């Protein structure tokens, strides 16, 4: 899972919530993420901080993910999303999902597990 953000505290917050169950590839923004993928890193999913100073480069970056044939989900996180709008957006897409920032503890993990198809698997495993 690639974390795309220039902000160290944001990467730390994402890492705290996800590191126990996912292999994380933190990057220092869009250019860093592109370089990592040029070197052969193929993430299962990408989480992009839309509140970055590189915000204008996000559409081009997302288009390059399609060109690279990355099939995993893209989770867009922004303080400009209202929670209900982010939830409606996430429910209407197969590849792009949104999360309002700041999020409630566990919300990022829940969203990632859901879009990666892990939430049902965890529920079945817990019932054993």
Tens of pLDDT, residue by residue, the chain (128 residues): 999 999 999 999 999 999 998 999 999 999 999 999 999 999 999 999 998 888 889 999 999 999 999 989 999 999 898 888 888 878 888 888 999 988 989 999 999 999 888 764 444 444 44
CA distance 108 to 113: 9
CATH topology assigned to domain 2-126 = Rossmann fold (3.40.50)
- CA distance linking residue 100 with residue 50, whole number of Å: 10
Instruction: Supply 43's token pair.
Output: 């993430």
pTM of the model: 0.86
- The burial class, CB within 10 Å (0-12 / 13-18 / 19+), for 8 is exposed
Phi-psi region of 44 (alpha: psi -120 to 50; beta: other; left: phi over 0): alpha
């Amino acid at each position: 899972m690639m974390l795309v953000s220039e902000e160290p505290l944001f990467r730390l917050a994402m890492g705290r919530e996800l590191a126990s169950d996912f292999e994380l590839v933190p990057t220092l923004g869009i250019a860093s993420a592109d370089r990592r993928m040029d070197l052969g890193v193929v993430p299962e999913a990408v989480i992009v901080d839309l509140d970055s100073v590189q915000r204008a480069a996000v559409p081009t970056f997302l288009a390059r993910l399609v060109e690279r044939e990355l099939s995993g989900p893209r989770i867009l996180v922004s303080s400009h999303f209202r929670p209900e709008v982010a939830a409606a957006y996430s429910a209407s897409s197969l590849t792009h999902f949104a999360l309002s920032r700041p999020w409630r503890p566990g919300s990022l993990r829940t969203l990632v597990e859901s879009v990666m198809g892990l939430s049902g698997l965890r529920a079945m495993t817990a019932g054993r």
